[in-house]
Amino acid sequence: MDFEPWWLIFVPVLFGLGWIAARVDIRQMLSENRSLPDSYFRGLNFLLNEQPDRAIDAFVEVAKLDPETTELHFALGSLFRRRGEMERAIRVHLSLLARADLPQTQREHAQHELAQDYLKAGMLDRAEEAFELLKDTRFALPALRSLIRIYESEHDWSRAIEAVKTLRQLVDEPVPQRVHYHCEQAQSALAANPPNVDQAQAALDAAEHALRGASSNAGNVPASSVRVAMLRARLAALDGDAKRERLQLESVLSGSPEFAGLVAESVLNNYRAAGQAAEGLALLQAQYDKHASLDLFNVVFRELRVQEGAGPAWAFARKALRQNPSLLGLDRLLEAELAANPGSAPQEGVVPGADLALLRSLIHKHTQRLDRYACRACGFQARRYYWQCPGCNAWETYRPRRLEELE
């Protein structure tokens, strides 16, 4: 194709259009920069200089000057909540909800943030109301999980059960704590004065039904099944059915031997009431030989001390501590010996009383921190066993083993 000279006229035209476009972009950028308040840049400067408190104050000023900065409002509200400044977080999110021009999606977001503020502030009634408003929104699932936490903290087990049923309709995942909700109902019924046996029976039936519907790892019996068996045993004891009580307790020994220490005392009481204390002790000794634990060791040693005297008890202790060395176990048997024979003359094969007290005092100082159960989720430690961690509220996170056994 031949070159035509008149085409050169397009060169200055194109150059002029490019120059005009560049000028427009520069003016727009300068206009946008001028529209940003100085507080915004001061806030950025404070952040760069690692002065977060002054940066927050600067951004708050920006939010006041420019109400349209909804994302900045959300960021500030979340930051206040993480810092524990709940009053300021609530005020930020309430100011967003008060805006009539706020889009629906951002209104739902603000409602969810406000509900979380109330929950962290411990204002459970307001938090519950706020989460209820989110049931038909895109925040329905996290709102429902938060409502379950609220019902748990209020011990409103009936509503917690209904909320878990709704959760199962939204997501296909196991909710093992539902079994514990029914167990909590049964426990409350048994603790009433007088005990409500029928209500406890109904709650345990519902717990077993929920247990069958819950999935568990193959070969691993969930802790909730142990709790159901223990409550069944208590119910049988109230009914005066010692045989049924024994069957429930022994099902724990055979099916979940790691929980034997939690039921050992009840097993002994059952056999003792039937005039079979020696058989009960023999059962626990055999259980210890197969599945040793500190709690079971303590029960067996004390009962041996009562039934057969110091010699057999200490012989059992020596053998047990050789096979499973434990300072905590030694501390417990010394405590039991001192309680049984305070200041008595030494017996053959037993440490003299004065030396026994000295030895126990030295060991006890080192074992106090080991004589606890620990949550696997948050590490919260407690002297008694909990089905729900008091620290993080997670279920079945405590192993029925003392800290020394886990180290």
Pairing of strands 373-374, 381-382: antiparallel
For residue 378, say whether it is annotated as part of any ligand binding site: yes
For residue 183, say whether it is annotated as part of any ligand binding site: no
- CA atoms within a 13 Å half-sphere pointing along the CA-CB vector of 166: 16
Annotated binding site: 375, 378, 389, 392
Q: Which residues make up each annotated binding site for Fe cation? A: 375, 378, 389, 392
